[in-house]
Amino acid sequence: MRATMSVDFLSAILRLGKKYDIGYLCEEGLKLLRLEFPTTLEIWHACSGGDTRINPGVGTTSVVMTVIGLSHELSIPRCLPVAYFRFVTSNTLVSSSLRRLLLVINNIGALGIYLGKFG
Amino acid sequence: MRVTESRLEVVFRPVFQNLNHLKFHRRRGETEIFIISSPSLYLVFIVLKSLELEFRAILVSQRQSPEGISRSTSQSAVQQMFSLFRRLFRIQKSKPSTISQALLAKRRETEEPEDKGKSPPVQSTSYWFDDGGVIIQAENTQYRVHQSLLSRHSTIFNDMFSLPQPAMDPGPTSEGCPVIFLSDKATDLEHVLSVIYDGIRRGISLRLYFLNLIPQQLGFMTCEQR
């Protein structure tokens, strides 16, 4: 059985690790993202097929959607291709799922302004 | 709550009727600088962005505006501002001006109503150490933790703690410890404290995954640009 990390925990260590400059926390989170949302086909083949290493935790938002939000928020664009791929393959593209996704991304926009990224 | 230009205006407009100039200057990093100048007054605020706490700043005032500084936003002006700030702060410590006192009184007045609406903060059950020297508060939960441990893990906290507190206003305290307000979610902070106090393996066990990977793949990933 694989040990997993909850997506809340992942978000927390990436977000606060970056904000408070705690290097090993960020690294731990990024490591997991690299495995779960790889940038090459080789890693994809090596790592996919098993169960996901990120569990949804207590949140109601799906893991993939949370990761898309996180990647936008913390500027980790490398995860986005696979994350979006997973999103479109795991969701039927009805307007409700797209609306939820847009909501996540729009929230990040607001958060970005709050964090002073754009202003 | 963040300090913004409009908010500064709201707070200071009643105090200074003839406030004719509010300047905002932002420096890269954690520090924000606000300058308010009028013919008779010159104020510099240095706000630690990482504290994200309104007016948890060093307040300086002088009746006469030094020439030139408030009219320029160039880099040298910022340096000038800092040297001015140091100079003024020494004056401030020995003899607090009435303006500053008025400002502080005003500040308390304006902040009080906001505090009344909030329920009192609750102590965390998991991360409240009686020998901790600092209280950090996220949302409505307080964590009494060890300053040196936070400093050890985070350079931001380290910088935050190494800054001297103004003698005239050491900021909020509780049970003899300084209280630091963070803008983070309490659940996020708790996750991070769990790592700091209990180790990362409590939250995850990544080692298991790496055993499944062949070394080349691991090497490949380490070389990959972050």
Per-residue pLDDT of chain B (226 residues; tens, 9 = 90+): 444 555 555 544 444 444 444 444 444 444 455 555 544 444 545 444 433 333 323 333 333 334 333 333 334 444 444 444 444 433 333 334 444 444 455 455 544 444 445 678 899 988 999 998 899 999 889 999 999 999 999 988 888 888 776 666 667 777 888 888 888 999 899 999 998 888 776 665 443 344 444 334 434 333 333 3
- Mutation site, B136, B151, B154, interface A, largest A CB count within 10 A: B154
Beta carbons within 10 angstroms of residue A48's beta carbon: 12
- Kindly give the pairing relationship between strand B122-128 and strand B177-182: unpaired
Interface contact A4-B204, CB threshold 8 A: yes
Please give the Cα distance from B22 to B6 (Å, whole number).
10
Element (H, E) at A54: strand A54-55
Please give the Cα distance from A74 to A61 (Å, whole number).
18
At B136 the pLDDT is 92
- Mutation site, A2, A14, A18, A19, interface B, largest B CB count within 10 A: A19
CB-nearest to B204 from A3, A24, A42 is A3
Of the pLDDT bands very low, low, confident and very high (cuts 50, 70, 90), residue A16 is: very high
For chain B, the distance separating the N- and C-terminal CA atoms, rounded to the nearest angstrom, is 32
Report the SS3 class of residue A55. Answer: strand
- Residue listed under structure tokens 């103004």: B166
Percent of chain A with pLDDT over 70: 69
The CA-atom distances, in angstroms, between B94 and each of B48, B73, B82, B85, B89 are 23, 29, 19, 14, 9
Type of residue numbered B202? R
Tokens at A83, concatenated: 């994350």
For chain A, the distance separating the N- and C-terminal CA atoms, rounded to the nearest angstrom, is 46
At A46 the pLDDT is 76
* Residue A5 forms contact with B (CB below 8 Å): yes
The answer, as to whether pTM is greater than 0.90, is no
At A87 the pLDDT is 78
Please give the Cα distance from A74 to A14 (Å, whole number).
8
Q: Compute the nearest-CA separation of A70 from chain B (Å).
A: 13
At B16 the pLDDT is 41
Please give the Cα distance from B146 to B129 (Å, whole number).
8
Per residue, what are the HEC states of chain B? CCCCHHHHHHHHCCCCCCCCCEEEEECCCCEEEEEEEECCEEEEEEEEHHHCCCCCEEEEEECCCCCCHHHCCCHHHHHHHHHHHHHHHHHHHHCCCHHHHHHHHHHHHHHHHHHHHCCCCEEEEEEECCCCCEEEEECCEEEEECHHHHHHHCHHHHHHHHCCCCCCCCCCEECCEEEEEECCCHHHHHHHHHHHHHCHHHCCCCHHHHHCCCHHHHHHHHHCCC
* Residue A3 forms contact with B (CB below 8 Å): yes
At A105 the pLDDT is 66
Tokens at B176, concatenated: 């003899």
Q: Compute the nearest-CA separation of B151 from chain A (Å).
A: 10
Best CA proximity match to B44, nearest among B76, B6, B92: B92
